[in-house]
Amino acid sequence: MYYDTFDSPVGEIIVVANDEGICNIDFQDSPCPLPIDPSWQQNPEPCAEAKRQLLAYFAGELKQFQLPLSPQGTDFQKSVWKILASIPYGQHTSYGAMAKQLGNPGASRAVGMANGRNPISIVLPCHRVIGSNGKLTGYRGGLPIKTKLLKLEGIKL
């Protein structure tokens, strides 16, 4: 596993990659920073394209990421993250709507928990998921970062 960190408009970001793709993108200036495993090697090269695309996103120059992803999770989590990947830039959905897409309308809390375990922030845009009442709900990076990301994309709540 390789990692690199860089500064962004929402604070320090960490990118973690393996030989198959990006495993984690997280906010280090958040309530729950990603702990750096001692076995990981700091190496900017495997993370360089993710960094480039993220900085282009923050500059308003990129609306769709093209990165090889290698998230680790349960089958249910991966099905939720697949739906996250389909939410277009500048749009939002709710946990309930995602549960309906999965064919289980009563699973909105489980969808919320899977969103909370999303290891690839921004690229798998869990910040675009809000409560069915239109209110912002939890975000592992913190609600201030979620708000900044939504504003960047022109989403008004």
Determine the pLDDT at residue 140: 85
Whether residue 32 is predicted with pLDDT greater than 90 in this model: the reply is no
Q: What pTM, to 2 d.p., does this model score?
A: 0.93
Q: Which domains does the chain have, with CATH numbers?
A: 2-58 (3.30.160), 75-152 (1.10.10.10)
pLDDT level of residue 131 (50, 70, 90 thresholds): confident
What pLDDT is attached to residue 135?
Answer: 86
Q: Quick one: pLDDT band at residue 15, thresholds 50, 70, 90?
A: very high
Alpha-carbon distance 3 to 25, whole Å? 10
CA 78 to CA 139: how far, in whole Å? 18
Task: Pick the catalytic residue from 23, 32, 47, 126.
Answer: 126
71 pLDDT higher than 80: yes
Query: Is 32 in the active site?
Result: no
Q: What is the tens place of the pLDDT at every residue in 116-125?
A: 999 999 999 9
pLDDT mean over 146-152: 95
Residue 44's pLDDT band, with cuts at 50, 70 and 90, is: very high
